[in-house]
Chain A
Amino acid sequence: MIKENAEVVVVGGGVIGVSLAYGMVKKGAKVILIDKVDNRLTASRGNFGLVWFQGKGKGMPRYVEWCIEAIERWPEFAENLETETGFDLNYEKTGGLEICLGEEEHQERVNFIEEMSHASRSGRYDCEMISRKELQGMLPKIKLGKEVSGASFCSHDGCVNPLILLKAMNISFQQKGGGYRPEQSVQKIECNSNDFKIETGTHSFKAEKLVIACGLMTPKLAGMVGMKVPVIPERGQILVTERTSRVFNYPTAGIRQNYDGSFMLGSSHEAVGYNIETSYEVLQNIAKRAIRILPSLKNLQLIRSWAALRVLTPDQKPVYLESDQYPGAHAITSHSGVSLASIHSSILVEWILEERIPPGFTAFHPKRFNVQEAI
C-alpha cells in the first residue's frame, strides 16, 4: 500500500473535481486528485462545451446569480489557464442563441425569457428575443431554414473546447505541485477526529479535508461520510461532422460549429440508466432538427457520434454540501461543470479551504429535495 498525505484529497477527475483541485493548488494547498479506473461513464469527456447562462436556473434565483457570476469570471479564468499551460482553450464569448422552430416554440421561449427576467433578483437577466430577420442578419454566411421563427440571444454565453479545458486544468494542477493519481477506485473511507483516510486498492491517502466530486459515483462515496446526495444519470447523444469553413459563429444548445470547423449537434435527454449506447432514432432526430434550422448542413458528412451520461440532481441544480456528521468532508455535484469551472475554482475553493460560505449558499443544500418530497 502506497501511503500519501495531503491537505485535501479530491475524488473525481472530471471537470468539477479538476477545477476544484486546480483552484486549491493555486491557493497553495497540498492536494491529491484521485481519478477512477473506468472512464467510460464520464460526463466530462462527452459534453458540448458550452459556457452557458441562458435557460438556467428556473425556480432557483440564487442559481441564476451564481451562473452569471461564473460566466463573468470565465474570460479571466480562461486567460490564466492559457498563460499557465500554453494551451489555447478556444474560448469564444460571442453570445449564444436558442433557435426556435415554428410559432409555438417561439412563444414558449418568449414566455420563458419573460419569466426568468422577472424572477431575476439583480435584474441582470440579459437575455432577449430576436426576430428571424435579425437572426439571419447575424448569420450572413449560412441560410436559415424556413421554419426558423426567431431566437433568444444572451450576450453572456459562449463556448470552449471542453477536452482542452480538462487537459489544461489537469496539467496546470500538476505543474503547481498537485498530485494526480489516476486508475484509483475508492474502496474505503475512514473518518478520524483530525483527518480522513481514503483507501483504494493500491494506495492509502490521508488528508484533513475530503472533496467528493465524482459524478455518478458521488452518492455512494458521499454516503460513506454521512451525506445524502441524490443524482440520476441522463443520457445525451451527440453527432460530430467533418470540418468545413466557419459559417456559424454563435453557439446554440443544439448546434455549434467548433473552432476547427466541425459541427457538433445534440442532444437528447433520455432516462435509460447507465446505458451509453447511441440509437438510430435519436441520432436521426438530432440530424433532422439541425437540418430544419440550417438546411445546408444536410451535405455535411457525419464522422462520429457518442453518448454520455449527464449527472443530474432532482432539480438539475448544484448540490454543495459539507457533512454534518464528518465536517471536512464535502460533496459537490452539478450539471454545467464547464460553465461553473471559473466559480468552482475560486469561490467554492474558498468555501472548502477557508470555510468562507458564499451568501445564500443554503439554496444549494440537498435538504431542498426533502422539502419538495414533503410537498
Chain B
Amino acid sequence: MNSIRVPKFDYIIIGAGPAGMAAAITARAHGLSVLVLDEQPSAGGQIFRNIESLEATRNSEFSKLGQEYEFGSSLVRRFKKCGADYFTDRSVWQIDNNLQIHHVSASASKSNSVISHCQAKRLLIAVGAMERPMPLPGWTIPGVMPCTAVDVLYKSSGLIPDGEVVLAGSGPLLLLIGCRLLDVGVHVSAFLDTSMNGALLKALPLLPNALRSHKYLTRGLSLLWKIRKAGIPFYSGIQNIEALGSSKLEKVRIGKSGKFFDVTADLLLLHNGVVPNVQITRNLGCEHRWYDVQRYWEPIVDDWGNTSVDHVSIAGDCGRVAGAAISEVSGHLAALETVYQLGVISKVERDNLSQPHRIELARQKHVRPFLDKLFQPSKTWLVPENDKTLACRCEEVKVSEIRETVRMGIKDPDSLKSMTRCGMGYCQARMCGLTVSEIIAEEKKVSPEEIGYFRVRSPIRPITLGQLAEID
C-alpha cells in the first residue's frame, strides 16, 4: 500500500455518538487533526439517532423526548462546527497493528463501492452498546425484536407499531420505551417483567448514593406507575416465554408458576439490558474483563479510557455502560489524554483540564451501581433452559448442541465454534457470544471470566472480495 496516498490524522474516532462527538470537540479545541467515522447517515449514535432531522422537521415529537435531547442536539451542533473531518456511512472492516484503518460504505448496495484507508496516531473506539441478546424459544420468528428496534424506527423513520405489542424483559430502557409507546397510542397487550425476585431489596444498599441523583430513580418509578395505571396486564415472576407463529409472530406463550397461557401478539419486544459492543476492541486484541453484576465483557481501561493496546482508547458505552451523559464525559477525558499523549499539553495541564469532567463524572456515576444491581439480568434469561432454543441465530445452533459439545470435553469458545459452527455466521458472534460464554460457564460451573470469548477476526463487518481486492 502506498502510504503517501493514505490520509493521516492525529486522532481517528470510530463512532459519532455522545462519546465520539465529545472527544472530537475536545481534540479539535487543542488543534489535533481529527477524523470521525460513523456508519449512520447522521450524528448522534443510538440515543440521539436522527436528532438533527427530528428537531428540524418533527419538532413536536422532539420536544416530548425530554431535556436530555436538547443537550444532545446542542452537542451535535458543537460537533458539526468543531472542524473534525466527519465521514458518515462508513463501516470499519479492518484495523492494522500500526493503526491503519480500512473502511467501506455502510450502506452502498452496489458491491463495488470503494474501500478507503486512513492512518491514525491514536485511535478512539466509541461504538457504543447493543442490546444483550435474550434467547428464548421462537426468538427468530419475524415480529420478535429487541425493544430498541422500535426506538430506532421511531426516531429514524417515524414509525410506530401497529397491532398488538407485548413487552418482555427487565431494565430501565424497557420501561422508557414502554411509556413512549403508550404516549403515542400503541396497544400494549401485556408487560412481562422478568426481573429477578428481590431485585429491589438487593439494590437497596446502594440506594443512598442513587438518591443524590434521585431524578433517575423517580423517573423509573413513574414509568412503572404509568404502565400499571394504563391498565396493561402486568406479569412479574415470569419463568418461560415462547414466541409462536408460522411465518410471523402470532402469539406469546407465557409460563408463570408452572401455569401457561397465551397472549395474542404481532410484535414481541424484548429487553434484557444493554451491553458494550466489544467487536472492535476484541478484534484489536484489547484485554477484557467480565463485569459480573451486569454479566458482560468490558475492555479493561484506566481512568482515561486507555486499553491494553498502545494508542487505542475507548469512550462511552462500548466500555462500562453508563448512558449518554457519562459517555460524553468519557469522550472529553479520552481526548484530553490523547492531546497529552501527542505532546500538545503537559500532564499537569491535562489533569487540570480534566477536573470539571471528573466532577461531573462523580456527580453522575453513583446512580449506575444502583441501576446495575436493580436490573441484574436473571439466570433464566441468560442461559436458556429450553434446550431447543437457538443460541446462534445465524447458524441455527441450539443450546442443546452447545451443551453436548461442552460435555464432550470442549471448553473454550473457539473450539466450540469449530465443532458447532456457532459464531461463524454473518454477525460473527455479536448475537451469540455472550450466550456461549454463559452456557459453557454454567456447564463447567465456573465464571464466564474463566471461559473467555471467541477470537474476533477481520473483517469486522462483511465486505466483498472485489472490495478487498480493490478492483473496479
Contact = CB atoms under 8 A, between A and B. Distances in A.
A40 B470 contact: no
Given A241-B465, A287-B469, A278 B411 contact: no
B414 A300 contact: no
Interface in A131-150: none
Among the interface residues B426, B469, B471, which one has the most CB atoms of the partner chain A within 10 A? B469
Contact of B426 (A171, A290, A303): A303
B425 A45 contact: no
B346 interface: no
Contacts of A167: 419
A303 B425 contact: yes
A280 B457 contact: no
Dominant secondary structure of chain B at its interface with chain A: loop
Contact of B464 (A265, A298, A304, A305): A298
Interface in A290-321: 290-291, 297-306
Given A45-B418, A305-B459, A291 B465 contact: yes
Given A302-B463, A304-B459, A305-B459, A284 B468 contact: yes
Nearest to B472: A298
Interface string A231-271: 00000000111100000000000000000000001000000
Interface residues of A, number: 40
Given A298-B465, A298-B466, A304 B424 contact: yes
Contacts, number: 96
A39 interface: yes
Contacts of A298: 111-112, 464-466, 469, 471
A39 B428 contact: no
A263 to B, nearest CB: 8
B462 interface: yes
B213 interface: no
A283 interface: yes
A145 to B, nearest CB: 11
B102 interface: yes
Interface string B447-472: 00000000101110011111011110
B56 interface: no
Among the interface residues A166, A174, A304, which one has the most CB atoms of the partner chain B within 10 A? A304
B462 A182 contact: no
Contacts of B410: 182
B96 interface: yes
A40 B457 CA distance: 13
A249 B398 CA distance: 30
B408 interface: yes
Contacts of B466: 287, 291, 298-299
Contact of A163 (B102, B418, B425, B465): B418
Contacts of B459: 302-305
B281 interface: no
Contacts of B418: 45, 163, 166
B122 to A, nearest CB: 20
Nearest to B427: A303
A163 B96 contact: no
Contacts of A181: 409
A334 interface: no
A281 B409 contact: no
Interface in B88-119: 94, 96-97, 100, 102, 111-112
Interface in A1-50: 35, 39-40, 45
B392 to A, nearest CB: 14
Interface string B1-32: 10000000000000000000000000000000
Nearest to A260: B421
B157 interface: no
Contact of A302 (B419, B425, B468): B468
A287 B470 CA distance: 9
A190 interface: no
Nearest to B97: A277
Nearest to A263: B465
A39 B1 contact: no
Interface string A155-199: 000000001001100110010000011110000000000000000
Nearest to A166: B418
Contacts of B465: 239, 241, 265, 287, 290-291, 297-302
B128 to A, nearest CB: 23
A151 to B, nearest CB: 21
Contacts of B408: 170-171, 174, 180
A210 to B, nearest CB: 21
B254 to A, nearest CB: 36
B355 interface: no
Contact of A280 (B102, B112, B411): B102
A356 interface: no
A118 interface: no
A298 B464 CA distance: 6
B70 interface: no
B414 A40 contact: yes
A302 B469 contact: no
A287 B458 CA distance: 14
Nearest to A38: B412
A219 B465 CA distance: 39
A162 to B, nearest CB: 9
Contacts of B59: none
A284 B463 CA distance: 12
Interface in B426-450: 426, 428
B53 interface: no
B411 A183 contact: yes
B218 interface: no
Nearest to A162: B418
Contact of A305 (B415, B419, B458, B470): B458
24 contacts: A35-B409, A39-B414, A45-B414, A45-B418, A182-B410, A280-B100, A280-B102, A280-B458, A281-B1, A287-B465, A287-B469, A290-B465, A291-B471, A298-B464, A298-B466, A299-B466, A301-B462, A302-B459, A303-B428, A304-B428, A304-B459, A305-B457, A305-B458, A306-B457
Interface of A: 35, 39-40, 45, 163, 166-167, 170-171, 174, 180-183, 239-242, 265, 277-281, 283-284, 287-288, 290-291, 297-306
Interchain residue pairs A-B with the least CB separation, the first 7: A298-B466, A301-B462, A182-B409, A287-B469, A287-B468, A288-B469, A45-B418
Given A45-B414, A298-B465, 10 more contacts: A166-B418, A171-B408, A180-B409, A280-B94, A284-B468, A284-B469, A291-B469, A301-B465, A302-B462, A303-B425
